[in-house]
Amino acid sequence: MSLFAFAGALETGFLFSLVALGVYLSFRVLAFPDLTVDGSFPLGAAVAVAAIVKGVDPFVATAGAAAAGAFAGSVTAFLSVRLRIMNLLAGILTMVALFSINLRIMGRPNLPLQGNDSVFDRFGRLGDFGLWNNVILLGLVAVGAKLLVDWFLRTEIGLALRASGENPAMAEAQGVNNSAMVYLGIAISNALVALAGALFAQAQGVADVSMGVGTIVTGLAALIIGEALFRRKTVFLGTLGCIAGGLAYRLFVAATLSLGFIQAQDLNLVTAVIVAAAVVMSQSQRLGIAKGLLSRLFSPRIGDRANAASE
């Protein structure tokens, strides 16, 4: 792997750790399988690039993109909470609708930056970081987001959100408005993902309407790999896992692309194997990895950790 590819992997690793943070909030904390992200990632890209091309300051445009993501999340929450549409379906509906909306925002299937300044160009004026310009800025953003999420989940509202996701009946008995928590959590989650999309588009120079396909898979892969790395389930380690998982995943992608004999079409299969291995590893805490693997192979018990994916 060239230094170039390594820097690129760190770049996209930090970017997708933002997605992983968003997915952590929805899937893990709120127990809400949210597929909106496949739509809010390109939404962030579309809003940011469309705004920049019209002359808006790139930082303002990026913030606007995050706000757009929050709005998309609230729509999904509305569908789920108010209209009582099953949460998985609610996310899908918003995601599908966003495809058309993103096309409208850009006015065309893909929209390049056309020489306008991106946040990376502005950052580059602070100093000559060379190859590492984007990596540094993105690293700062990712760590900043992680610390923000950590802080948030430790506030009274954040604690209520965590309770709401894990035990809605108990949360309600403690006076927590579960509906409000869904709105808040899904909005923040999609704001993070849209932010990632905005930064991704600025890094590569173009926003494309189909760039959201597979965002949820990447986010989940990063999240699960991170959980396999850090066993204990505290908030601090959970969010750290998002960053570590994002970096690990993208480094892995870059490595396999550099090897040459594993083609991109094999990448999906390899991703599946890695994620499955990570899930198994993270679930056999007490038994040790090998034992855990064997015990799962030879004694599948229905009801015994039946729905592993929801844990």
Where do contacts with other proteins occur on this chain (CB under 8 A)?
1-2, 4-5, 8-9, 12, 109-110, 112-113, 131, 152, 154-160, 162-163, 166-167, 169-178, 200, 203-206, 208, 210-211, 213-214, 218, 233, 250, 253-254, 257-258, 260, 263-265, 267-268
Pair 4, 131: CB distance under 8 Å: yes
Nearer to other proteins, 126 or 166 (CB): 166
Nearer to other proteins, 284 or 293 (CB): 284
In the complex, what is the shortest distance from the CB of residue 17 to other proteins, in angstroms, rounded to a whole number? 15
Nearer to other proteins, 172 or 288 (CB): 172
37-53 and 3-23 are packed helices; what angle lies between their axes, rounded to 10 degrees?
120
Nearer to other proteins, 109 or 144 (CB): 109
Rounded CA-CA distance 146/288 in Å is 30
Tokens 């904390």 sit on residue: 29
In the complex, what is the shortest distance from the CB of residue 294 to other proteins, in angstroms, rounded to a whole number? 26
In the complex, what is the shortest distance from the CB of residue 200 to other proteins, in angstroms, rounded to a whole number? 7
Nearer to other proteins, 155 or 295 (CB): 155
In the complex, what is the shortest distance from the CB of residue 297 to other proteins, in angstroms, rounded to a whole number? 27
Rounded CA-CA distance 212/216 in Å is 9
Q: Are strands 110-112 and 206-208 parallel, antiparallel or unpaired?
A: antiparallel
Rounded CA-CA distance 8/24 in Å is 24
Distances (CA, A) of 51 to 61, 64, 199, 206: 6, 9, 13, 13
Identify the bridge partners of residue 208 per DSSP, sorted by sequence position.
110
